[in-house]
Each structure stands twice: as structure tokens, then as C-alpha cells.
A and B are shown apart, each in its own frame.
Chain A
Amino acid sequence: MSREAVINAVVVAGLVLVPLWAVWADEPFTITLATRAVVLALAAVGLNLALGLGGLVSLGHAVFFGIGGYAMGVLASHAQSYTPLMEWPVLIEGTKSMPIIWLVSIVASALVALVIGSVSLRTSGVYFIMITLAFGQMFFFFTISWAAYGGEDGLSIYVRNGFPGLNTLVPIQFYGLCLVVLLVVLVFCSALARSPFGLALNAARQAPERVQAVGLDPFRLRLVAFVISGAITGLAGALFADLARFVSPTMFSWQLSGEIMVFIIIGGVARLFGPVVGAVLFVMLEHWLGGLSDYWHVFLGLLLLGIVLFAKGGLIGVLAGKARAHD
């Protein structure tokens, strides 16, 4: 068992045990914090697929997070107001069912990722970053002006959506659901990285011209990775909206795209559990340092600076040494 595998196992154990301790100690807020960390980690795991494996520095991943969030918000708001989403040509009602909302979030995010990726992946480097950022801002300002769903004020959902067999209003049950989703996605990403597709994507990041020489199209590989990445981040958006029971245009903000990227850099780019470690640390700092000062981002900035300068493999890289994405 490699050192990184041991670290990953410790992280999973922590994600299981800490909330259980919180139940025992009657600390429901700790469970909420853990849920926030797990959901943000899921968003970062999505981006890590594009960034770590595909080398795609997307500064617009909040688009997919926001689409997932708004998919939940729109469907749930129609369900709670008993008004159909549309009546013609087909009747579409709202829903409070998480599985349906997740499916809609994944499909909607994937479709938008397909469109954004088809345009932005024709560029590279700083142009790719700028185009993804531009798409993010387009969605941000669109939702600000989308008065039907709250506009700038956002949209509140009064009761958390339901999942068969669970009472999602009980914090530990909702947390458990989010954790299972995260773990399933991590297993999927691990398998994907080891698959011929994942290896070819990794190869395309290293040397696109050599990949072409063996008959593979780097554009297509990256587009598929971008779509899967967007779908995962969209699913995270739906869960985040359910956690907060609120969606707003800030879910599309470029600052959020930057934060998701920061999670990955802190934890370790291309490391399977890098985004998880980064998101957990971010939420802990946000909670502890945020209680001490409104300017807690200064400390986060210092941490980020230290990692970028002295530990390019992120925290997992420091602890586990040099390794590869799917170790």
C-alpha cells in the first residue's frame, strides 16, 4: 500500500468518524461544516479531472456549479409553489426528488460543458482561461437579470429535497448521502484515470502532437473530459443548493471558480484526494480564522503562496512524495 493510499484512507476515515463524533457530541454545526466541505470537494474533484488529468485551467467551472444549483432551485421552487415549469408543448412539473434533480443537473451541466468546451478548447493557455472566465460572467449576469427566479436576490427553497429511504432534514443523513456521492465519484475518477481514455488524456496533456501520431484526437479527449468534469461539478452544485436551501448568482461567480481551483492547488493537483483535502482545509480555515478576523483570506493567501512556492504537489505531495494522478 503506497503512502498516498494510506493518506487517502485516513482522509476517508476522518470524513466518516468526525461527523459521527459530532452526532455523539451533539454538534450539528460540525456536521453542516463537514457537509459543506464534502460538497465543495465534489466540485473540486470535477475540476481536478479537467485540470489535473487534462491540464485544462478552467476559470469558469462555477458555471456548472451554478447550473446544478439552479436546476435544483428551479425544479424545487415550482414544486413548492405547485406551478408547472412549462405547460406547452409538454407539461413539465417541478420536483422535490433529489435523484431526478441530480439527473437534470448532470445532464444540463454536461450539455453546457459540451457547448463551452467546443468553443474554448480550440484555444489554449491564457486564451482558454479567458474564454472560460467569459462564459462564467455571461451566466453570472444572466442569472442576476433572471427575475423569474429571484434575480440578484436569489431563490430560497424552504424544505430540503427528498431522497428515497432517507430523511434529508436530519443533518447526518444528508451528510452521509453527500459523502457516498463523493466516494462514488472518487472511485469513478480513479477508474477513469486508469482507463485507456484516462491514460490517453494524460498523454495528451503531456504531449498533444505525440498523441496525434498514435491516432488520437487531443481535442476530442479534452472535450469528453471537460464534459464529465462539468457534469460532476454540476452535481456538486445541486447538492450545495440543497445544503443551503438557497441559490443565487454568486454560484456562478468567478471567485467561486477560483476557490474551487484553490482547493485543488492546496490539496495537490492531479492527486485523487487532493481536492478533498483542499476543500476540507479551506472550510476549516474559513470557520476558525473567519471567527477571528473578517480578513481571514489573508492567511489563506499565505498558505497558498507557501504551497505554490515550496510544495507544488500540494499537501498530499508533501506528505506522500512524488506520485501520479491515479496512485
Chain B
Amino acid sequence: MSLLTVRGLEARYGASQALFGVDLEIDEGEVLALMGRNGMGKSTTVKCLCRMMVSSGDLRFAGQDLHGLRAHQAGRLGIGLVPEGRRCFADLTVLENLVAAARPGHWDAERVGALFPRLTERQGQIARSLSGGEQQMLAIGRALMTNPRLLVLDEATEGLAPIVRQEIWAALTKLKAETGMAMLIIDKSLSEISAVADRAVILERGKSVWTGEPEGISGEIAERYLGV
């Protein structure tokens, strides 16, 4: 049984329909890349998964129907979100950001610190005073502190310096190799995401139009659907 099953997912912003039928599946330990150009429905799909907006279609996590759940209930069920734009708790320190989100399980502040040593160095620093990259690491660490079964990363490396991007991709690769955590990653960087993802789903105008291994994304597909 898949960890996450999405079939025919549809969603609207008022009168405007944003998703017209998204299909995707993630197994335990699998890393899925959700790709597509801007405005194609990637973040809307994430919002539906995390129950931050109303949707229709088949949406199941660990066999449980997600419809009818509220956002915090989806979080408790094991969907850990790293939201777009980092969005740490700005007035709390690094350690407090982690402690505020903590739930019992494998991940604790020490393990997050081992994954991102910079966070250990800055654990007493107020989140708003961190660099963009450090805030992103904190956002990932905070999601890990909830001990999720599925980590959802929405544009986790957007707007970061290349060296910081490398650091984050290295951490995600390590996370996959050492813990086998299932991940849904939204990112525009085909080369970097291909190194981590087992499979990819491409969205076009609110609909999944291509599914397969990232290596299978040909130049034509990349040009047509990803604008690369």
C-alpha cells in the first residue's frame, strides 16, 4: 500500500479552478519530485495534501482519507511540511523553533543539529536574524522535529546561494540514505532534484501529465513542460 495516494485531485480558488486532476503516489522511503513551471499547481497540490485548502478527489495518507481533516490533524498524521518562503517562527530562537514543534520519535534537536551543524552553532539566535539558508535549514529541521512519515518540501532551495543549495541537497540526500524517509520535493532545478528523487511527476495547467524516473525526462519534455 502506498504511503500517499492522490487520484483526480481538484481544487479551486473561489470561482477559479486551479487543479484539474492531479495523480501521484509515494511509497514508504520513496522520494518523489513534483515539477512544473510556475502557476501549474505544485504549491496548490501541497496545500491540499496538508489540508490548507479544500479539494476533491481521492486523497489518502497511510490508508486514511485526508478529506475532512484540518491542517494540524494532517500534520499529526505524519505529513511534515517545509513551506515555501521558509517561514520560521521569527521571534523564537533556533532551539525554541525546534522545541515548539517537537513530537516524540527519532528526531530531536541533537539529530537535527547533526544534520545541519550550522543550527547547533546558532541555537540561541533569534530566527529572524538568520541568513536565508539557515532559515531554510531551520524550516526543514522544524518539520523533522514533528517526526513525519512524509516530508514535503515546497521550493526548499529557492532564492538561496549555490553553496547553501548544495548544503541543503546534501542534507536531503543524507536524509534519504540514512533514514529512508519518504519525501515529496517541489523544485525547479532538474539536475539537483534528479540526484535525489526516485520518480518525478510533472504538472501542466493543474493536471499531472508525465510520471516516471527523473532520468527519463528528455530534452523535449523538459522544454515543453519545465521551460528548460
Contact = CB atoms under 8 A, between A and B. Distances in A.
A209 B71 contact: yes
B146 A215 contact: yes
Given A196-B99, A199-B96, A200-B100, A214 B142 contact: yes
The SS class assigned to the A binding surface is: helix
A202 B92 CA distance: 8
B36 interface: no
Contacts, number: 70
Interface in A208-241: 209-218
B164 to A, nearest CB: 21
A59 B83 CA distance: 35
A130 interface: no
Interface stretch (B22-30, B74-82, B170-178): B74-82
Contacts of A206: 89-92
A211 B50 CA distance: 12
A210 B96 contact: no
A316 B145 CA distance: 34
Contacts of A212: 52, 70-72, 75
B101 A324 contact: no
A100 B74 CA distance: 43
Contacts of A207: 87, 89-90
Interface in B186-205: none
Interface in B46-73: 50, 52, 70-73
B75 to A, nearest CB: 3
Given A196-B102, A214-B142, A202 B50 contact: no
A2 to B, nearest CB: 13
B89 A213 contact: no
B72 A216 contact: yes
A199 B100 contact: yes
A214 B148 CA distance: 9
7 contacts: A199-B100, A202-B92, A206-B91, A210-B89, A212-B75, A214-B142, A215-B74
Interface of B: 50, 52, 70-76, 80-81, 83, 87, 89-92, 96-97, 99-103, 142-143, 145-146
Which 4 A-B residue pairs are closest in the complex by CB-CB distance?
A: A215-B75, A212-B71, A199-B100, A214-B101
